[in-house]
Structure 1
Amino acid sequence: MTDSLALDYAQRLMACESISPARGSVFDTMEAMLVPLGFSVERFIAGADDADPAHGGPVENLFAIRGKGRRHFAFAGHLDVVPPGEGWSSGPFEPVIKGDLLYGRGAVDMKGSIAAFVAALHEIPEEAGTISLIITGDEEGPAIHGTRALIDHMQARGTVPDLCLVGEPTSVDRLGDMMKVGRRGSVNMWITVEGTQGHVAYPHLADNPIPRLVAILAQIKAVALDEGTEFFQPSNIEITELHTGNPATNVIPARALARLSIRFNDLHSGESLVELIRGIVEPGGGTLKAMISGEAFLTPPGELSATMAAEVEEVTGIVPEASTTGGTSDARFLSKLCPVVEFGLCNATMHKLDEAVAIADLDALTEIYRRVTLRLLNA
C-alpha cells in the first residue's frame, strides 16, 4: 500500500503548510514533481499591487504544459487549503497513515486529487498530446488573483485548453458516485436602511429603520425565483445577517442592515437578480450593494461527461450522477474557456478536523484520470 505513487505525492504536498493564499514551498514541491515529467513550468505572483485586503493577494499561480497534438487537455486544481482549526488528532500538516486512511489538511480538498493526476502522468507518454495543469493558490479565498489570473495568462500565450477536468472532491458516499457538470451562481447583497436615532420613550422624535427593513425582507422572502430545471435545483434566497449595532435597550437605532445570499441556476444572471432585489429595496427606503461571486454554468451532455462517466464506471463499477449541486468552484471561471467537468475524491471530510482520504481511492482516482486523459487525447 505504501508504495503508491499517488500516496507519496499526496504526502509531499500535504506536508507543506499552504493556508490560502498559498505561496512558496508547496509550489516548489509541485514544480519538482512536474519537471522530471517533461513539463515546462511557469510560476507567477498575482495581486501584489492590490491594496484591498478583501481581495486576498498576493497569490502564487502555476501553469505547466507539455506535448504537442491536435487536442489540449487540462487539469485544474488548487494547492491552498482552509485553516485547520484546533483539535486535530495529529498535526494537520504532518500527514499520517492510520489503517487504510491518510490524514491531514488537504487530503481530499484537494491535494489528493492533484497527486493522483500527477501520478497518472507517469503512465501517459509525452507524445500522447498536449496536457497542462492549471494550479492556483487562491481557490479557498476570494479567488480574485487565482484562476482568473491564470486564464489571462493562458489567453496571452495562446494555450487555451480544448477540454478541462477540475479535481474537486465531488464524490459523496463512495468514489465515483457523482461528478459535477455545472454549478449554480452566487451573489451576496447588503441592504442598509437609514433612520434617526432616538429614545424609545419618545418615538415621535426618532425614525426607526427596523420596520422598513423587516418589510423589505418579507417582500424578498416572498419571491419564488424558479422551480428548477432538468439539471439544476431551484434557486434560493437566504437572509444570512441582520443587525443594527445597537447594544442599548432604550435606544431606537439609526441604521438597520441585512445581508442576503442567493444561489441561482442558469435561468438567471447575477445582474438580473441584483436588479430584481434593488427593485424591492429602493422603493422600500433602503440602499443595496452587491457582489457577484460567479455565474451559473452548465456543460451540456457530451464527449467530456460521457468519457468521464464511462471510465469511472470501468474502474469503480459505478455510473456517476451528473450533478450541479454544492457550492462554487473555480470551474465557474474555466467554463468560459471550454467544456469543464469536475470529478474527484469523497468530500465527507473536506474542511473538517481530521480530514482524510482512503489510500485505495487515491490509486483508483489515478487510474480514472489516466484513462480519461488518454481517451480524450486520442479521440
Structure 2
Amino acid sequence: MPDIDTVKLAQDLIRCPSITPEEGGALDLLEKHLSVLGFTCHRLPFGEGKARVDNLYARVGTEAPHLCFAGHTDVVPIGVRKDWQHDPFGGVNDGEVLWGRGAVDMKGAIAAFVSAVSSYIESGNNKGSISFLITGDEEGVAINGTRKMLDWLRKEGETIDDCLVGEPTNPETLGEMIKIGRRGSVNVVLKMRGKEGHVAYPHLAQNPIAALLAVLTALNNTPLDEGNEHFQASHLE
C-alpha cells in the first residue's frame, strides 16, 4: 500500500475548483484514494437542478467502535482574483505556506485524515470501523449536505460512536486544542409596527425605528447565559 503524501493530497484537493455546489473533482479524488485503502464508498447526491450537491460516505470495517471523520470539500468563491498572491486553485507550496482556497477550511484537514487513516491501516491494528462523511454543501445553504447524509445513515442502520470534524480550531499553533463541540444558533425575526403620520404632527405618529433601537439595546445588554468551562457565553449578533 503506497504511502500518502499529506501535502501533495492537500494540493491536489485545492486544485479541484469545488465552489459550492460544484464538486470540482474533489470527491472523485477522495473516492479514488479511499477505495485503494479498502473503503466501501457511497456517492450521495441530494437536491435537484442547480441545487444538486454530491456527497461522499466511505467506510472500512464492520465492527464497533466506529470513528467517523467528517468534513466538507466545498469552498467559498474566490472574490477578486487579482487580490490573490497565488492562484486560488493552484495549491502552491512556497516551503512555508500552502496557498489556495480550502487549504485551511478544510481540504488540508481532509488530506491529513486520509493520510492518518492510511498509516493506521498499514500498521495492521485495524480494530473497529473508520468512516468518512464528506459533504459538498457546507459553505452554501447547507441543506443538501450533512443533514441529509445523517438521515441516509439512519435509514441504512449506520451507527457512529465518535466523530472528529476537521474544521480549523487552533488559535495560534497547530495542534493547540481540540474543540469538543460547537454552539448552535437561534434565528429570531423581530417586527416593530409603527403608525405613519406627518412630520408636523409627530405626536400623532409612532416611529418604529426608535422602538426597535430600544428593544435591540435592551437585548444586547441582557446576558443570555454565562457559558461554561468549554464554551464562551452566548451573544447576540
User: For this structure pair, what is the TM-score category when the shorter chain's length is used for normalisation?
Assistant: 0.7 to 0.9
- Give structure 1 regions of 4+ aligned residues with deviation exceeding 6 angstroms: none
User: Is 1:74 equivalent to 2:73 in the alignment?
Assistant: no
After TM superposition, give the deviation of residue 197 of structure 1 in Å.
3.5
Q: Distance in 1 between matches of 2:54 and 2:8?
A: 23
- Over 3 Å counting, the alpha-carbon distance change for 1:192 and 1:95 in structure 2 is same
Q: Distance in 2 between matches of 1:120 and 1:72?
A: 16
More relative contact order, 1 or 2 (CA 8 Å, 6+ apart): 1
After TM superposition, give the deviation of residue 222 of structure 1 in Å.
3.5
Deviations 1:7-32 (A, max 9, x none): 11111110011112342522111211
SS where residue 236 of structure 2 aligns?
strand
Deviations 1:62-84 (A, max 9, x none): 10011233321111110011122
Higher-strand-fraction structure:
1
Q: In the alignment, what sits opposite 2:84? A: 88
State the AA in 2 paired with 1:97. Answer: N
RMSD in angstroms over aligned alpha carbons? 2.2
Q: In the alignment, what sits opposite 1:143? A: 142
Retained in 1: the 8 A contact 2:4–2:118? Answer: no
Q: Distance in 2 between matches of 1:48 and 1:28?
A: 20
Q: In the alignment, what sits opposite 2:53? A: 59
Q: In the alignment, what sits opposite 1:37? A: 37
- Over 3 Å counting, the alpha-carbon distance change for 1:94 and 1:162 in structure 2 is same
Retained in 2: the 8 A contact 1:14–1:93? Answer: yes
Deviations 1:264-320 (A, max 9, x none): xxxxxxxxxxxxxxxxxxxxxxxxxxxxxxxxxxxxxxxxxxxxxxxxxxxxxxxxx
User: Is 1:189 equivalent to 2:188 in the alignment?
Assistant: yes
Gaps of 5+ in 1: 50-55, 239-379
Retained in 2: the 8 A contact 1:59–1:145? Answer: yes
SS where residue 54 of structure 2 aligns?
strand
User: Is 1:103 equivalent to 2:102 in the alignment?
Assistant: no
Q: Distance in 1 between matches of 2:216 and 2:171?
A: 35
Q: In the alignment, what sits opposite 1:164? A: 163
Q: Distance in 1 between matches of 2:18 and 2:190?
A: 35
After TM superposition, give the deviation of residue 118 of structure 1 in Å.
0.9
Q: Give the number of aligned pairs.
A: 230
SS where residue 76 of structure 1 aligns?
strand
- Over 3 Å counting, the alpha-carbon distance change for 1:177 and 1:142 in structure 2 is same
Residue identity (%): 50
SS where residue 33 of structure 2 aligns?
helix
Gaps of 5+ in 2: none
User: Is 1:16 equivalent to 2:16 in the alignment?
Assistant: yes
Q: Distance in 2 between matches of 1:218 and 1:89?
A: 42
After TM superposition, give the deviation of residue 128 of structure 1 in Å.
3.6
User: Is 1:214 equivalent to 2:210 in the alignment?
Assistant: no
SS where residue 210 of structure 1 aligns?
helix
Deviations 1:113-136 (A, max 9, x none): 101111122222374431110000
Deviations 1:157-212 (A, max 9, x none): 11221111111111221111111012222122222212233442343554322222
> What TM-score do the two structures reach when normalised by structure 2?
0.88
State the AA in 1 paired with 2:109. Answer: S
Q: Distance in 2 between matches of 1:70 and 1:216?
A: 51
Q: Distance in 2 between matches of 1:91 and 1:157?
A: 41
